[in-house]
Amino acid sequence: MRTATFLGRHAATLVLLAVMLAAMGTVAALNLPVGLFPQVSFPRIVVDLSAGDRPADTTSLLVTRPVEDAIRSVPGVNSVRSETSRGEAQISIDFGWGRDMIASTLLVDAAIASTMPDLPAGTRYDVRRMDPTVFPIISYALRGDGLSPVALRDFAEYRIAPMLAAVPGLARVDVQGGQTAEIQVEMDAHALAAHGLSMADVTTAIAAANQVNAVGRIQDHHKLFLVVANDPMKDVKAVAAVPLPTAGGGRTTVGDVARVSMGVAPEWTRVAEDGRPAVLLNVYEQPDGNAVRIAAAVRKKLDRLPLPPGVTLKNWYDQSDLVTASASSVRDAIGIGLLLAAGVLFAFLRSGRLVVIVFVVVPAILASAILCLDVLDLSFNIMTLGGMAAAVGLVIDDVMVMVEHIARRVAKTDDTGRAHAIYTAAREFFVPLSGSSLATLIVFVPLAFLDGVTGAFSRALSVTMGCTLIVSWIMTAFVVPVLAARLSNAASWRHVPARWEKRFDRLHGAVFGIAFRRPWLVVMAVVAMLGVGVLSYAHVPTGFMPEADEGGFVLDYYTAPGTSIVGTEREVAQVESLLRMDPDIETFSRRLGTGLGGDLGQSYHGDFFIKLKADHAAHTVDVMNDVRDRILHNVPGVQVEVAQLMEDLIGDLTAVPQPIEVKLYGDDVATLLPLAGRVAAALEKLNGLVDVKSGAQVAGDALDVRIDADAALVEGVTVEAVSQAISDGLAGVVATELPGAVKTIGVRVGGLGARGWQIHDLLALPVRAADGHLFPLSRVAQVIPVAGQPQITREDLQTMVPVTARIESGGIASAVSRVRAELARPGMLPPGVRYELGGLYQQQQVAFAGLRKVFAAALGAEFILLMFLYRRTRIALLVIGASLVSASAVFAGLWIAGVDLNITAMMGLTMVLGIATEMAIFLISEYMALGERLGWRSAMRRAVRNRLRPITMTTLAAILTLLPLVLALGRGADMQQPLAVAIVAGLLLQFPMVLVVLPVAVHAAMRRTHLP
């Protein structure tokens, strides 16, 4: 059936179908999940191991290595990297992209469980799958003078967290900080000895006295009763009153041999907000959750929560702010683009009715595209929103060229045959429209098959743009002609060129005529443009992901290794003073001994999240650099690293948070540790590198208790008994848990005043022998301080020490070239030591390699499409050549705009190839159609005249539509700025390439060839 007849017969049906799709898309938009990132399952699993307090080398030998060996047997494991500290280890496992990470997580868990019987007693582990949901979407700080740290934590854990658990899509609420109540039983060793008791006797007695057990069932009087032995202890007095049998048949109580009091459990982490102790609440979403709705529901519930007197609840992070700001930026960009495109259309055609068609069809296309996202289980995020904003220009292009073509054809007919002329014009334009749409669409097909971080993010963008373009083609081909026939009148199609149009036509005709008469000028111009592209490519800096002004950043801090928690807090207090004085900072939260990404805890390491004021004057990057410089200058004992949250989050998800990472491999740890320090010192001198840090992490000092077996034998004890006595005295033993209304309270049995012990107190620790006599620890052991126990880092079972750095100025490629040159200096690396470059640079190289393959695949696909359309190799090669020259302008555009060549810019480069080919298809299709009637010699000039107006209109409209993204107007627009700059730069060059250079080249190549 002919297209014109089909459109005429089914006009009402087509409009109704478009309205239904747009309505369904609008409903889908209200229910689509919303998040910062696409719903991506990163192929990384992290295992946290805890084996008590033991040296790092012992932990590595007894715990880390057996677990690594077990993990390596799991199918699909690509690499295993571990960090081992005192009694703790963290193992990062990388799998290949595309694997079922839920199944892989279960396999890793099973592999570790199989090794547990061979690991030291008390070893615990936790397996977590890394994806964007492992980071909170909204966080609060609970602070107040009216409650104790224990009561503050209880209020957060047992009042706020359960209240928020009912929010749909919320996964969990994590509570950090505060203190946990605990009953402390501090044993007096001399009193125990006087009664012939041991600490184990007291622990057993307390546990036995606190019993709540179901012991059976009884039926009586037609009822079934559960028999419960219910004798729980309630408080400190009950613990102190627990009876203890003594030697000789006497009795005493726990209170007679110990000091029993209410205290708090040992805490080796600290959290604060604005420099004051606080309890932090971190809210996490489910993988398919809607971050904006969850955050709104959390805010609503917390606004209604009555707080105790003197307690404040303050928000210090809200991911939904950036998501909603990005959505607002996209909405504004689409609105501005529509207005500007309407202005362009009106300027050329001067018909309000035709402008209405654009305002009706473009929103319908976008709504229908959202329906496609819903069907494909995608979400609103920075990539899909950016894809829709970037696609608006291409959508408007399709609608405008169809309207312009109809206008040109209908202007030659009278009003009586207007509808038939419109449908006939639509049928004529169906093949060029389909070919041009395919030219843009096929470049997204290879993008969808990328893997790695690039594929994870580009897939969402490419699918969004692909869906939008498919819907645009359908609407433009079948709905726009119907609307044009129904909404227009005879006056809509009458066009008298304005003066500026005539002048523009004359200018183009003059340039075109010179180019035809002197083709060598065209060759020189093309060579010059390619030269500018090559020069720009050499100077434009390279990056990984685009930077986004998120309104906050992460600051990691380190004090001297081995510094106690109290000492670190004292030094970091100076940092907090500097932050409070900064006029751009609204609030900040601090963690010590842990981190936002679940770092391996150390008493000298933690992080801040710093939230900036909404109207902060300086750019976030400038604030970050200024804060780092002031801290390094004013607080010399503290080393810091700064990063934007998105960069830090992606880095943690991929296990490579720093742009530069030099991985030093060798067999001798004693050689690698000082070498890492020398390499770090050398890199600090390189321009553009900051936050240089040696990976030779020191776990801190230790006290090596060396027990003399012979001396212990003389006292009548074993080495094991002495070790147990030290452990019981220092750490204590949780004997039981007392049940309460909403929580249980532990009862810890330990040495008298153990939390305040110093080295001499440890030497004086009373040890009880089997015959009951006491002797000090110093009689059977020596306590030797050991300084600087290093952490042990291994990658794929090889010893490795990393050196990391961040880039303050310049691109990744130039920074890496300087690093390579420094490492190549004679004497820098000793024999037997090799290095590899990791970090975000390694991810960038993988991404760029994949994108180069995508570009080549898109190039091949465009060539095949052109061969199908025109069946002439010369024409296909010339169009591809013109598109490549247009693509070279991308590098010049990035260089002029000061934007890095990163992943999104490379995607824009690939899109320029499709857009330039699309414009060329409009011209060549007209040329081929006219050549059959007018002859090939005059066909090119007529084709250029016919296509001058639509190509000018669409190019101008596309550039103006992308202008808000080029200028990065609004929060979140930074992420799409490189993409927009690349497309606009390509459009600016493809305009003269298609309207001047390509016609001259095709005419010169085909004038002696007989075309069919």
Return the sign of the alpha-carbon dihedral for residues 245, 251, 255, 257: negative
pLDDT in tens, 757-796: 888 888 888 888 887 788 888 888 888 887 767 778 888 8
Residues 6+ away with beta carbon under 8 Å from 233: 209, 210, 239, 242, 736, 738, 747
The answer to whether the beta carbons of residues 611 and 587 sit under 8 Å apart is: yes
Pairing of strands 605-612, 585-592: antiparallel
| Better-predicted residue by pLDDT, 1009 or 302 | 302
Say what the pLDDT of residue 67 is: 93
Most confidently predicted of 578-592, 742-756, 941-955: 578-592
Residues 308, 298: Cα–Cα separation, whole Å: 19
For the chain, percent helix, then strand, then coil, each to nearest 5? Answer: 55, 20, 25
Least reliable range by pLDDT among 5-9, 65-69, 856-860: 5-9
Averaged pLDDT, 289-305: 89
CA distance 148 to 156: 12
Per-residue pLDDT at 1009: 52
Please name the amino acid found at residue 170.
L
Alpha-carbon span 752 to 765, nearest angstrom = 10
Q: Are strands 124-129 and 766-768 parallel, antiparallel or unpaired?
A: unpaired
Average pLDDT for 741-759 = 85
Per-residue confidence (pLDDT) for residue 1011, from 0 to 100: 47
Q: Which two tokens stand for residue 37?
A: 């990132």
Separation of alpha carbons 89 and 526, rounded Å = 59
Alpha helix (H) residue ranges in 540-596: 565-581
Residue type, 952: T
pLDDT tens digits for range 159-202? 999 999 889 989 889 998 888 899 999 888 888 878 888 888 88
Once rounded to an integer, what is the mean pLDDT over residues 859-886? 87
Binned at pLDDT 50, 70 and 90, residue 1 comes out as very low
Residue 721 has what pLDDT? 86
Distance CA 451, CA 432 (A): 33
Picking from 262-266, 300-304, 314-318, 410-414, which range would have the lowest pLDDT averaged per residue?
410-414
Q: Return the higher-pLDDT residue of 638 and 40.
A: 638
Q: What is the mean pLDDT of the chain?
A: 83
Please compute the mean of the pLDDT values over residues 970-998 and round it to a whole number: 84
Cα 538 to chain centroid, rounded: 29
Q: What pLDDT band is residue 495 in, cutting at 50, 70 and 90?
A: low
Segment 243-255 shows an average pLDDT of 81
Sign of the CA dihedral 808, 804, 95, 598?
Answer: negative
Sheet holding 181-187: strands in order across?
Answer: 258-264, 181-187, 744-751, 733-739
- Residue 545: enclosing H or E segment and its boundaries? none
Task: Write out the two tokens for 355.
Answer: 């402008």
| Proportion of the chain above pLDDT 90, given as a percent | 9
Q: What is the pLDDT of residue 140?
A: 92
What is the average pLDDT across 434-439? 82
790, 698 in Cβ contact below 8 A? yes
Q: How far apart are CA 552 and CA 646, in angstroms?
A: 10
Contact 123, 117 (CB under 8 A): no
Each residue of 791-838: pLDDT tens digit?
A: 788 888 888 888 888 887 777 888 888 889 888 888 888 888 888 888
Instruction: Report all structural domains of the chain as residue ranges with CATH numbers, in order of start.
Output: 1-31+350-496 (1.20.1640.10), 44-129 (3.30.70.1430), 138-181+268-319 (3.30.70.1320), 182-267+702-786 (3.30.2090.10), 497-539+872-1011 (1.20.1640.10), 551-655 (3.30.70.1430)
Q: How many CB atoms lie within 10 A of CB 403?
A: 29
Q: What is the pLDDT of residue 832?
A: 84
**Residues found in the chain:** 1012
This prediction has a pTM of 0.79
- Helix, strand, or coil (residue 325): helix
For residue 62, the number of C-alpha atoms closer than 13 Å in the C-beta half-sphere is 21
Q: What is the predicted pLDDT for the residue at 796?
A: 84
Which residue's structure tokens are 């100076």? 574
- Residue 152 Cα distances to 278, 311, 421, angstroms: 8, 9, 77
